[in-house]
C-alpha cells in the first residue's frame, strides 16, 4: 500500500462524531467528492462527505474553484495534497476545527446532484458471469462470443439522461415485437429491469491520438460511484441486432452522488488474476502493477422496495449481493487503456459504466433478467408480492462498501431510483 496516502489508519478519528460510527459510509478514511447546493436553482458547489455532513471546499479555503472539472483535472499529486489537508483539518484534536466547522452542512439539508457534469458515457460489459448467464438464455451452446475474453466490450451510451440518485423516471415506450407477432408495435416496456454497475469517473483527459498506457491509466481515474443502467429488455430484444442497444438503454441511468477516490480504495486492492486456461491479455492490457493490485474488493447490494413496502414503512428487500473483484473480467486500468488505444480522447468528467456485476451464483445476479430467468421464475418478496420485472412505483437502491481487517469500513452511499408510469407517445 502506498505510504503517501493520508488518512488510511483505522485508528484515526474525526471531530465530526457521526463519522466515527462503525456503520457510517463516510469516515475520515473515505472523504469522497461530489456536488451539492442549498436550494433549487443555486449553482452547484464542490463538497466532501464526512459522516452525515458535507464540507464546502470553497468555504473551507481548500479549493478556490466551484467547477468540479477544475478539480478533476488536477494531478494525482495535487489531489493527494488536498486529501492530506482534509485529513489534517477533520481529524480529532485538529487546530483547524473552528475554521472547518463553518464549512459544514448536514447532508440532510442540501440537495445532492450528479457528482460532475458528464460529457460522454461509455458502458462496458466486464461482468463475465452476467455475460455468460444472459448469453446462455439466447445462445445455450455458445453463451460468450469469441471476442469477449480478448477485448473489453463496450458501447457509447447517452450522457444526457444520466440522473442523480433519488430521481424518478418514466417507464420507457418503444417498439417491441413478441415472437408470435407479425409486426412490431409501440407500447410501454413490460420488461423493465435494473443493472447493478459501478461508475468510473475520468479525472485528467488525454490528447486525441494519444493512447494512455496501462501503467499510467489509473492516473486518469478520479474515482468510483454506484451506477444503475436501467434497461427495457423487450425493446432491447427487438433492436439490439446488428448494432446493439439504443432506446432500450438511453432513457435513464442513475448514478450515486459521491465519487470514492482510488486513494480511499487503496487498502482494498486485490491481485487481478485470470482462471487457469484463460487467455493472457494482449501486451497493451497486461502489466505487473495491474496483475498485482489492479482489482478492487467492493461489496455490492441490490435492494427493491415496492409501493406496498413503502406504505408499510419497510425499507425493502435485499435481492442480490455480489462483488466487483469476483465479477469483473477486466480492471479499471484496462478499460482506460483499451478505450484510448485507438487514439480516442477522454475528457474530465467522462463516465464509464462497468456493465452488470453479477456474481458466480444465481442468487448473486445483478439484474432481474438473470434473477428470474428471463421472467420465467418470478422473485418472491417478503411482502408476499412477486416480481418478474419492475412495476410502476418500484424503487431500486444500490449500495456498496469495502471492508478489510485492520482498516475502517468505507461505503459509497446509495444509488436510488423510482419507476413512474409511462407517458403515452407524443405527450
Residue 65: active-site member: no
Annotated catalytic residue within 130, 220, 338, 339:
130
Place of cell 449553482: 43
CA 112 to chain centre: 16
- Give me the active site residues, please: 130
Amino acid at each position: 500500500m502506498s505510504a503517501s496516502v493520508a488518512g488510511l489508519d483505522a485508528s484515526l478519528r474525526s471531530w465530526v462524531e457521526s463519522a466515527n460510527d462503525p456503520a457510517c459510509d463516510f469516515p475520515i478514511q473515505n472523504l469522497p467528492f461530489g456536488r451539492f447546493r442549498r436550494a433549487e436553482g443555486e449553482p452547484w458547489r464542490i463538497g466532501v462527505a464526512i459522516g452525515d455532513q458535507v464540507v464546502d471546499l470553497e468555504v473551507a479555503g481548500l479549493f478556490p474553484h466551484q467547477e468540479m472539472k477544475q478539480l478533476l483535472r488536477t494531478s494525482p499529486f495535487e489531489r493527494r495534497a488536498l486529501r492530506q489537508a482534509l485529513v489534517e483539518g477533520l481529524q480529532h484534536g485538529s487546530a483547524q476545527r473552528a475554521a472547518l466547522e463553518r464549512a459544514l452542512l448536514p447532508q440532510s439539508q442540501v440537495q445532492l446532484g450528479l457528482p460532475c457534469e458528464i460529457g460522454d458515457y461509455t458502458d462496458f460489459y466486464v461482468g463475465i458471469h452476467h455475460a455468460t448467464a444472459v448469453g446462455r438464455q439466447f445462445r445455450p451452446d455458445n453463451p460468450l462470443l469469441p471476442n469477449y475474453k480478448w477485448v473489453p466490450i463496450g458501447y457509447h451510451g447517452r450522457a444526457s439522461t444520466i440522473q442523480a440518485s433519488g430521481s424518478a423516471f418514466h417507464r420507457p415506450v418503444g417498439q417491441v415485437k413478441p415472437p408470435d407477432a407479425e409486426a412490431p408495435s409501440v407500447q410501454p416496456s413490460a420488461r423493465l429491469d435494473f443493472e447493478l454497475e459501478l461508475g468510473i469517473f475520468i479525472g485528467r483527459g488525454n490528447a486525441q491520438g494519444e493512447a494512455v498506457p496501462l501503467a499510467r491509466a489509473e492516473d486518469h481515474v478520479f474515482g468510483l460511484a454506484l451506477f444503475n443502467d436501467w434497461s427495457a429488455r423487450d425493446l432491447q430484444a427487438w433492436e439490439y441486432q446488428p448494432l446493439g442497444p439504443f432506446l432500450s438503454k438511453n432513457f435513464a441511468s442513475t448514478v450515486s452522488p459521491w465519487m470514492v477516490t482510488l486513494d480511499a480504495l487503496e487498502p482494498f486492492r486485490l491481485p487481478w488474476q485470470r482462471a487457469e486456461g484463460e487467455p493472457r491479455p494482449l501486451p497493451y492490457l497486461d502489466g505487473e502493477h495491474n496483475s498485482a493490485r489492479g482489482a478492487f474488493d467492493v461489496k455490492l447490494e441490490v435492494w427493491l422496495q415496492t409501493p406496498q413496502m413503502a406504505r408499510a414503512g419497510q425499507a425493502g428487500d435485499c435481492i442480490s449481493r455480489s462483488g466487483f473483484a469476483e465479477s469483473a473480467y477486466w480492471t479499471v486500468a484496462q478499460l482506460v487503456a483499451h478505450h484510448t488505444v485507438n487514439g480516442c480522447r477522454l475528457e474530465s468528467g467522462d463516465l464509464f459504466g462497468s456493465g452488470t456485476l453479477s456474481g458466480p451464483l444465481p442468487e448473486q445476479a445483478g439484474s432481474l433478467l438473470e434473477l428470474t430467468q428471463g421472467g420465467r421464475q418470478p422473485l418472491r418478496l417478503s411482502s408476499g408480492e412477486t416480481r418478474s420485472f419492475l412495476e410502476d412505483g418500484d424503487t431500486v437502491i444500490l449500495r456498496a462498501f469495502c471492508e478489510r481487517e485492520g482498516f475502517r469500513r468505507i461505503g459509497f452511499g446509495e444509488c436510488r431510483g423510482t419507476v413512474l408510469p409511462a407517458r403515452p407517445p407524443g405527450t
